[in-house]
Structures are given as C-alpha cells and as structure tokens.
Amino acid sequence: MQALTLAVSQLNDRVFLGVVWRSLLLSLLAFVGLLAGSVWLVQDLVGQGGWLGWLLGVAGGLGVILLAVWLFVPVALLIATLYIDRVAGAVERRFYPYLPPPSGAPLTEQTWDGAVLGLQVLVLQIGTLIASILLPGVGTVLGWVVTGWAIGRGLFVAVAMRRMSRPEALDVYARRRFQAVVPGIALALAGTFPPLNLLVPVIGIAAMVHVLEAR
C-alpha cells in the first residue's frame, strides 16, 4: 500500500492535475453524447411527440446517468492510458531522477495495450453491475476483486512496457503480482465513490511506477 500512499502524495503535481482534468472533460463529453443519443433514439422509436415519448426519453436519460456513475472509471481509465508516459514521467522525475530515459516496447504496442485495458475493465464493470443485481453483496465484492485484478495487472504491465518489452513486463508482473493487484483492488473500491473515481486512473498509473521501481 506504500505505492498508493506515494501516489496520493503527488496529487498536487501540475501534470497529475492536468491529466485528471483532461480525462474528466473527455469522459463527460463521451457521456453527454451517449445521453443525447439515447434520448433521441427512444423518442424516435415511440414517435416525435406526446407525453409517452417525453417520458421514455427522460427514463432513458436517467438510465444513462446511472450507467455513467458505474462506468466512469473504465471510460476515464481508457482515456488516461493515453497519458501514461506523462504521469509516469512526472513520478520518475520526483522520486527516481537517476533513471535513464525510458526505452521499451513500441509506442503503438503500448497504446494498444492501454486501449485493451480500458475495454477489459469496461466489460468487467458491466459484468459486475449484472452480478451485483443478481447476487447482492457477493456479486459486488467479487466484482471489486476481479476489476481490481484487471486494473492492477493492466496498469502495471502498461507502465512496465515503457522500459521493457511486453514479455519482459509480464515476467516482472508474475514476480510482483501481489504488490500490483492489492492497490488495484483498493482503486476499484475507491472508483465506486464519486468524486474519488476521478483520481483512480492517475493514482493507479503513479502507484504502478512505484511498484515497478520498488527494491
């Protein structure tokens, strides 16, 4: 958990704040587009006018808002993976200034791996939502653990790929699995509480830098 503590201690960093605001803005734009599209689709299906179309449009909008709260973390995570190098670089400058410039997997491979991570967590969050409805309590806890594993593993490998190939990153993860997954589970839990979910992607990236560089 020391990795999380160190990551939180750097939240006043301008780089961190910039990534948080960019992720928030892009996430809001994505959900606003989804909200507008859902309202338009429902009203188009039931007709252009009438109280029924208006009522269904409002219901669809409320449904999207509820989904947005639940799915905010994976969407923000997907966006934040575009800034892994920026966040990791800020952590290294403050805590590990002796490290050489990163030279790892190709940028295209890093970007693809980050996109897969975001989509993976998105699918798991949807599965968690279904499980929490079918199995209240048990499904929610199981969802936190599974999502936490995905966040911990995915972010660790993505951060490690800045300095090594993907096979090497997976090998290091195998040796530090516990150190990566425990913060991931904590982040998955924090992600269910707005506005803490705004900070999950940035804190997660920073924490995995500390896990990678731990001696």
Average pLDDT for 204-210: 93
Sign of CA dihedral 105, 146, 75, 189: negative
Task: Count CA atoms within 13 Å of residue 46 on its CB side.
Answer: 16
Q: Rounded to whole angstroms, how far apart are CA atoms 172 and 175? A: 5
% of the chain exceeding 70 in pLDDT: 80
Q: Rounded to whole angstroms, how far apart are CA atoms 113 and 102? A: 17
Q: Is the pLDDT of residue 207 over 90?
A: yes
**Neighbour count for residue 210 (Cβ, 10 Å):** 21
The mean predicted confidence, pLDDT, of the chain is 80
Give 160-193 pLDDT, tens digit per residue.
988 998 889 999 999 998 999 999 889 888 877 7
Q: Is the pLDDT of residue 58 over 70?
A: no
Give 32-56 pLDDT, tens digit per residue.
776 666 666 665 655 555 566 566 6
Q: Rounded to whole angstroms, how far apart are CA atoms 137 and 114? A: 30
Ramachandran bin of 171, using left for φ above 0, alpha for ψ from -120 to 50, beta for the remaining angles: alpha
Sign of CA dihedral 70, 74, 75, 79: positive
Give 22-31 pLDDT, tens digit per residue.
877 877 777 7
Give 59-89 pLDDT, tens digit per residue.
666 666 666 666 666 776 777 777 888 999 9
**Alpha-carbon distance values, 98 to 8, 14, 95, 162, 191 (Å):** 22, 21, 9, 16, 33
Residue whose token pair is 């904590």: 186
Q: Is the pLDDT of residue 114 over 60?
A: yes
Alpha helices in the chain (DSSP H): 2-8, 14-46, 50-80, 84-95, 107-134, 138-160, 166-175, 177-190, 200-213
Q: What is the pLDDT of residue 132?
A: 74
